[in-house]
Amino acid sequence: MSTTTAVIDLDLPGATISRHVYGHFAEHLGRCIYGGFWVGEDSDVPHVRGIRSDVVEALRAIAIPNLRWPGGCFADDYHWQDGIGPRDARPRMVNSHWGDVVEDNAFGTHEFMDLCELLGADPYVSANIGSGTVREMSEWVEYLTRADDSPMAALRRANGREEPWRVPFWGLGNEAWGCGGNLRVEQFASLARQYATYARDQGGNRLTRIAAGAADADYHWTETLMRSLGDLAADPAAPAGPFQAVSLHYYTMSGPWSDKGSATDFTTDEWYRTMARARVMDELLTRHSTVMDRHDPHRKVGLVVDEWGTWWNVEPGTNPGFLYQQNTLRDALVASVHLDAFHAHADRVVMANIAQTVNVLQAMILTDPDTGALVLTPTYHVFAMNVGHHDADALTVHLRDVPTRPVEGSADLPLVSASASVKDDTALVSLSNLDTDAARTVVLDLRGRDVVGHTARVLTASTLGAHNTPEQGDAVAPALHAGVRAHARGLEVDLPAHSYVTVALDLG
């Protein structure tokens, strides 16, 4: 078994890893909302006011920090006043982006805010810039967050909610370069400034306004948005400007958009191609951050990766507009690679939202439409194993003797990924072995503080395409890992082939 060394200075903490990089995304798409979160008040499935109880329980267990809603592409077709008031009086709408289905608006603003309160998660509301108006968005902010007897606050009370909600995150459109209006960036930069101006802080509620940002490597989009904010370097104490963050979207797949590959039936070459494409996230964060640094050296403006994850061909026999896919060990390691990148860029990345939470794309949870059974996916378990990174300080991990593999069309793929963090007297080290066949030993060269105890967990499976189903819910599930030993430099950790391991350290 070959050996890699990971040098970690436990006494040199870096930027804080915001818990919000472990955020989630729930769009009106397929069975994410209807059949996922929302079963209705007449359902036989256990629920609280129509919100599915076991989904809430599972997400609370991984300390979900925020939830983005209502989209996605759906957001720029959504008019929020259609989703308030008595449900039987709400107008219907066509979900033209996702399956061309008719929705009854049963799940709207009050239901979403109720969901966030049940989850203990901060709401991230995406406003409609594509087909909406400045007034519509401004009144939604007022409806949600104003406490006095203003017109929108009065309307909220008439609909049953006395006190305003706290809404810290506000999205200014979505994918404005595509489904959010097919705009040129110069057009959108002006709109983002305008809409942000009217998304007003009400009372004690303070908004982080997030402008719809680039897809993939469109650095010109980021450059133009940042330039529109003016001279952010002049006064380090001055506020960022009309908006406080810009977003980035990037999806991982093994093939082209026209044939993204199967979620479960893939070759070893497709595995490695997928991992190489997942590693691109680190490059994107580096380059978009460099663009932002030129205009914002004091890092007042955050980078929000509010859509990321794997995107495969839909499962056979399912509606192609519903984007339902299985979730395997491969997806779990794609998640671990992304999270390592977010940790490494904690000084700029303030939030991230995996797409999506239930039954869509790289979901945390799958629900069976026939039996109602709930399945926790391998990706869910990566998030569970990483809760210790929430709001901890990032530690730089210096890797030595990392094996690589050539991947056609990409740079050589490093086969070990790692990150670490420290909080008070505990540290957490995350290690991924991307090699499909070979196990590896990692020596943790731990410096600066004494390690007085440790525990470890491992996530792996017998096959690369292993996944969980209602019949076998723990085919891919974490277990205690005995393959950790004392070493002259700290600890020695065995990484099985295609595995994810976390080591929690007790510090003296």
Alpha helices (H) in 345-406, listed in sequence order: 378-385
Phi, psi angles (nearest 5°) of residue 489: -95, -10
Distance CA 323, CA 98 (A): 8
SS3 track for 49-66? CCEEHHHHHHHHHCCCCE
Please say if 117 is a catalytic residue. Answer: no
Torsion, Cα 485 487 489 495, to 10 degrees, reads -40
* Catalytic residue (one of 57, 162, 307, 471): 307
How many CB atoms within 10 Å of residue 57? 13
Among 460, 456, 441, which residue's Cα sits nearest to residue 499? 460
Residues paired with 15 in a beta bridge: none
- Cis preceding-peptide flag for 470 (omega within 30 of 0): no
Residues in the chain: 508
In 3-state terms, what secondary structure has residue 344? Answer: helix
Respond yes or no: is residue 315 known to be catalytic.
no
Residues 44, 351: Cα–Cα separation, whole Å: 36
Report how far residue 22's alpha carbon sits from residue 390's, in angstroms, rounded to the nearest whole number. Answer: 8
Give, as one character, the DSSP assignment of residue 468. -
- Which of the following is catalytic: 117, 175, 283, 492? 175
Q: Which residue has the tokens 């818990």?
A: 19
Bridge pairing between strands 302-310 and 245-252: parallel
With contact defined as beta carbons under 8 Å apart, do 390 and 122 qualify?
no
Nearest to 171 by CA among 195, 154, 148: 195
CA dihedral (315, 316, 322, 323) positive or negative = positive
Q: What is the spatial distance between Cα 440 and Cα 268, in angstroms, rounded to a whole number?
A: 18
| CB of 49 closer than 8 Å to CB of 60 | no
Question: Exposed, middle or buried, 175 (CB in 10 Å: 0-12/13-18/19+)?
Answer: buried
How many whole angstroms separate alpha carbon 414 and alpha carbon 420?
18
Is residue 9 a contact partner of residue 451, using CB atoms and an 8 Å limit? no
- Rounded Cα gap, residues 244 and 166, in angstroms: 17
To 5 degrees, how large is the angle CA 182–CA 322–CA 81? 60
Q: Residue 7: is it exposed, middle or buried by C-beta count within 10 angstroms (0-12/13-18/19+)? A: middle
Burial class (CB in 10 A: 0-12, 13-18, 19+), 293: middle
The residues that are catalytic are: 175, 307
